[in-house]
Amino acid sequence: MSENKFGNRSESVAEKLRLLAECYRLGEYDIAMSLTESLKDTLGFERQSHWAPEPPVVEAGSFRAARDLPAAWREWARGWRFFKSLNLREPVGLDRRDEPVDIPVAFRCDQVTDLHRELRVARVDVASGELAETASQVCEVTRRGNAFHCRVLFFADVPANGRASYLLLYGNPAAESPQYPTDLRIHGEGVGLDIENRHFIARLSRQMGQLERMTYRREHALELFAGGPGHGEPPGIDWAHDYVTGDRFEKMRITNWAECPNYEVIRGPVCVKVRRWGFPHSPVHPLFTPSRMHIDITYTFFAGLPFFLKHGTMRMVKDLDIAAMRDDEWVFSGFSFTDPLWLDAAGVIHEGPVPQETQPDMQGIGYFNRNSRDAFIALWLELEAEGFEDVTRHTLPSMYYRPHGHCWARYPAGHAQSLKAGSSMRQKNAYLIAPYYEAGGAAAIGQSMGDVQRGPVYGDEEGVSVVRNTRNRLLNPLVVETERLSCVAATLVGALARPGESEADAPLKAKIWEALQEVPDAQFYTVDANVVDMGYVYDVSVRGDVVTILVTMPHHGRPIYPFIGDPIRERLLRIDEIRDVLINFTWNPPWTAARLTDAGRKIMGMDERETSNGG
């Protein structure tokens, strides 16, 4: 069969399913297993190409040319050709400082080359008329038709009941990947990461990515852990999500995963997201491999903030009887805390045991130490269910749960239920580790918080206020509006462009990119699959006569990047203005087909595919 068309170069999902069924019928299990792995790869590409991104709050067609900016701003942003404007409104009377904003945005493909390199976010000071760049992050970039869709994350400052305006500037081919200095540090690869900011160090299991340990970065560096042998799997402090089969025969756990069946990691200066999904495993996997309840979990850790988020979804793929299910269970060995606390239906914080009559309406739970004031507090922000008979929001915080130590476990289904296919349970929780101070704050117990610099909920504020304000800001995010800006621009000092990004650098940058188009991925023999159109080059940095190139490879089966790095260096050294070339490598963000240029899509035959699929 000729492979001169895109559709002839691999089998479709439907064809692989047919082959899989045939091999299974014939008892050819080894080939069937290989087909299963190949089918998963194909589904991964189909997911890249066809999943529906969240509708953008700023459409691709909503933009203005940078030449329309006031003269002072236009000069400051010289080199960037387009901008979008945002207004953020504070709805509940809380002063927001360094508030994380996460919004979907779309851009026209003909206006930007690489969003990771080119996008900049600037805050408009309406009172002074000045612009100031703020740390930002671009992730989940995909292409749909003639538009790039992505998520833009940045920290915003908005006064209580007030508004703030921001510009998204883009369209500078000479731009280099911004290196924003934040306190967020990530160590490791895959899901087995150590993630730290100024408040804590979170250690995720090297086996399955569950939160294993957390070390507080204050005073005596309290370490939260779960000791002992667990249930045969590596123990951690986060034990959810799981369920007990209807006949109480066994418990199906995601902590039984020998490795994550599926995962995605997003890394950047603003946040780290670790998402894992699949079917939980039996204690005797693969003797029993039910594909009935699908579980999807995401941790989100931010720069500078003393809390992290956990999103979880439990969805029934087919009818399922359960005896119980858990969506929030935490275990802490070592008795680090002295008292429980909890939040009632109105979000009011109480210390001590939970009265029986209050349990169904709880909005959070946690522990604190009345001597050190260390705390770990869960804020239950969202719990939504479809197809369940009832949903419960309560649990009892046990101080001495044998044999673990401190423990709570929430059973949102409440009791044994027969669940229909399509039923689902979705949660969003925040976990706060800020000190839980008494009235009078840090000064009352002679502690210094001089190392804490970010946000309205730190310093020596009373613990109850910290919890209340954190919960309120998370339940009431900033409101995004897309009204046009109206203020007077001031004369600005400096420029948005860093060294190597100015209009003066553009001619050499253009020469470098043209030369890079002559460097092929030599594993393609009949087409011009050069490293630019294939999207392998992430960044070009110029400092004097030294050029640094950041490259990736298309998948982990080809980690030896000098295969393209050495030819890149050889070609660029032939440019008169260049004395030396350094080649760096990254897997972050992972390469996807969205990185192909228009020419690259044509080279790979994707234009034929889109035409045959109707665009």
Quote the crossing angle between the two packed helices 13-26 and 29-50, to the nearest 10°. Answer: 170
Pairwise CA distance, residues 461 & 463, whole Å: 6
Judgement on whether residues 36 and 174 belong to the same structural domain of the protein = no
394 prior amide bond cis, ω within 30: no
Same domain, 442 and 343: yes
Q: How confident is the model over 217-231, as a mean pLDDT?
A: 91
**One domain, residues 307 and 225:** yes
Position 518 in a domain: yes
| pLDDT(362) > 80 | yes
Same domain, 172 and 193: no
Average pLDDT over residues 411-431: 95
CATH of the domain at 524: 3.30.300.130
pLDDT at 258: 98
Residues 230 and 266 in one domain: yes
Residue 496 in any domain: the answer is no
* Per-residue model confidence (pLDDT) at position 128: 85
pLDDT digits (tens, 9 = 90+) for 265-313: 999 999 999 999 999 999 999 999 999 999 999 999 999 999 999 999 9
Q: Report the run of H or E that residue 319 belongs to, with start and end.
A: none
Has residue 457 been placed in a domain?
yes
Residue 608 confidence (pLDDT): 63
- 361 — pLDDT class (breaks 50, 70, 90): confident
- Answer yes or no: is 343 within a domain: yes
Residue 34 is given by DSSP the state H
Could you tell me the CA-to-CA distances from 96 to 120, 170, 303, 432, 474 in Å, in that order? Answer: 21, 26, 15, 17, 11
Q: Is the pLDDT of residue 95 over 50?
A: yes
**Is 488 within a domain?**
no
521 has pLDDT over 70: yes
In a shared domain, residues 297 and 280: yes
Highest mean pLDDT among 125-134, 238-247, 397-406: 238-247
pLDDT at 490: 72
Residue 544: what pLDDT? Answer: 94
Query: Look-up: residue for tokens 């046009």?
Result: 484
Query: Does one domain contain both 194 and 337?
Result: yes
Q: Flag the least confident range among 193-197, 384-388, 493-497, 513-517.
A: 493-497
The mean of the pLDDT values for the chain is 92
pLDDT class of 461 with cuts at 50, 70, 90: low
Domain boundary among 429, 444, 461: 461
Give how many domains the chain has, as a whole number: 4
In a domain, 497, yes or no: no
Confidence bin at 452 (pLDDT 50/70/90): very low
Same domain, 124 and 240: no
Helices (DSSP H) in 528-597: which residue ranges?
562-572
Domain boundary among 181, 201, 236: 181
Q: Region 514-529: what's the mean pLDDT?
A: 97
Closest C-alpha to 352, from 370, 335, 336: 370
Angle between helices 506-516 and 562-572 (to 10 degrees): 130
- Which H, E and C letters describe 436-466, residue by residue? CCCCCHHHHHCCCCCCCCCCCCCCCCCHHHH
The domain in which residue 533 lies consists of 503-612
- Residue where a domain terminates, one of 155, 181, 207: 181
289 lies in the same domain as 402: yes
- Evaluate whether residue 56 is within a structural domain: no
Q: Does residue 578 register a pLDDT over 60?
A: yes
Peptide bond into 229 cis (omega under 30): no
Residue 331 and residue 415 in one domain: yes
Phi, psi angle pair for 106, to nearest 5°: -120, 145
pLDDT value at residue 445: 36
Check pLDDT > 60 for residue 443: no
CA distance 349 to 294: 34
Burial class (CB in 10 A: 0-12, 13-18, 19+), 330: buried
Asked if residue 479 is part of any domain, the answer here is no
When pLDDT is cut at 50, 70 and 90, the band that residue 612 belongs to is very low
